[in-house]
Amino acid sequence: MKKTILLAFILAIGFQSFSQSSNTEAELIKSYFKLTKMAIIEDAMGLSEEDGNVFWPIYKQFDAEASKLNQFRIDYLLDYVDKVENITNEEVDTFLKNANTYNKKMATLKTKYYKQIKKALSSKEAIRFVLIEEYIQTIIKYQLLESMPWVGDDF
């Protein structure tokens, strides 16, 4: 769990600095985040070497697809943060639409990989992966909401 707290902290710092970072710094933050996340998943999954040899290639496919979705999320969140002081009703609507799109696509993605892991290993391993991923995403969401300005805040 200490690693999870570290992960959330890294993400919060990373999110706040993305808009001010160079591309190289942002990529370093993302790389460190991925390595930390993989260590958390490895620890929490507790797979045998044999099961790990089956799981990790599937996870890497999931991670590649999730990374694209997460970049979409970062982009719409940064757009919101940039506009929040003078955001229009239409921009708020777009923000909500993007957030809903992200949530639906991420749920679909987790279901897709649940099925693959279930087929390759077992339902228990598959749901464990989904729950770990859900746990990490919940921490990330919490940290993002804690660090984001809200419409109507004094700036």
Q: What is the pTM of this model?
A: 0.80
Q: How many Å apart are CA 59 and CA 117, to the nearest integer?
A: 9
Token match 């506009």: residue?
83
Q: How many Å apart are CA 48 and CA 45, to the nearest integer?
A: 9
Q: How many Å apart are CA 52 and CA 68, to the nearest integer?
A: 24
Question: Half-sphere exposure of residue 20, counting CA atoms within 13 Å on the CB side?
Answer: 5
Q: How many Å apart are CA 32 and CA 86, to the nearest integer?
A: 34
149: left (phi over 0), alpha (psi -120 to 50) or beta: beta
pLDDT at 2: 46
pLDDT at 24: 75
Question: Half-sphere exposure of residue 72, counting CA atoms within 13 Å on the CB side?
Answer: 17
pLDDT digits (tens, 9 = 90+) for 40-96: 999 999 999 999 999 999 999 999 999 999 889 989 998 998 899 999 999 999 999
